[in-house]
Structure 1
């Protein structure tokens, strides 16, 4: 019997991480371009115009770091993605956006709460929908009445 030498398993570069690094670099470049071409900037070097450059620099450093780690293959193996929870959460967001001006903040955000809870595998819809609506209504009262902010009002909010 011949004994096989222990194989050194080399991991290939992580393509998903390389794509993330490229997207981070593109976002940094867009921020720099947008800030450089914006009109009305101040003549001083340090001011509000400096912060977009600082954010872009941080994003660019993160892009380089992510690319370096991707090439080295240091990212842990990812789990298989489950499409069901993603569909519930994205569906909840779509429902909120579509119903926000029709049904109001409390009902639309309550449906988002219930769909997100369902996506995370928590509670039946018959329980999470009313809980979400009540929590969202309390938030609406705090922001709309307490802080005088304008949030979309529906039939439930018009009761107050």
Structure 2
């Protein structure tokens, strides 16, 4: 029995992370197919109904999941670079902060915090500059959605100050 320690032999092992992604894609496709099956034939006289697009999305996810599983099993994915956790934590922290601050402080401030923390994750650590810029951009978005499009976004003290 010989042992092959060449780089090709190491490359042939299944990529476990990609297999997990493939399983997740297939699971999401299955959930979408199940949910669409509960809709039934609402508009049976038309070829395109409320189930058409979800079925296409689920089918696409299923194909991608199978394709990812095959490529993972073959070990055909390129070797991944080392992941820096600092930027990821800044962005995930920004998302968590937005979710926690959205109701008490409103859309503009919560999304401004997300903007500033995402900028910090990308290397712009001047929070004293990125936070007001993010709040200003978010306030403009809030005005467009709430006043022009008549869609509801959570308001807070900043929005109440102007409207």
**Partner-residue secondary structure (3-state), 1:104:** helix
Corresponding pairs, count: 155
In 1, Cα distance between equivalents of 2:19 and 2:117: 32
The CA deviation string for residues 10-43 of structure 1, in whole angstroms up to 9 with x for no partner, is 2111111111111111111111112113356333
Stretch moving more, 110-119 or 20-29: 20-29
* Counterpart residue number, 2:43: 42
Q: Equivalent of 1:143, from 142, 145, 151?
A: 145
TM-score (norm 1): 0.88
Stretch moving more, 23-32 or 43-52: 43-52
Unaligned runs of 5+ in 1: 1-6
- Aligned partners of 2:42 and 2:49 also within 8 Å: no
* Counterpart residue number, 1:18: 19
Structure 1 stretches of at least 4 aligned residues deviating more than 2 Å after TM superposition: 37-46
In 2, Cα distance between equivalents of 1:56 and 1:64: 12
**Partner-residue secondary structure (3-state), 1:156:** helix
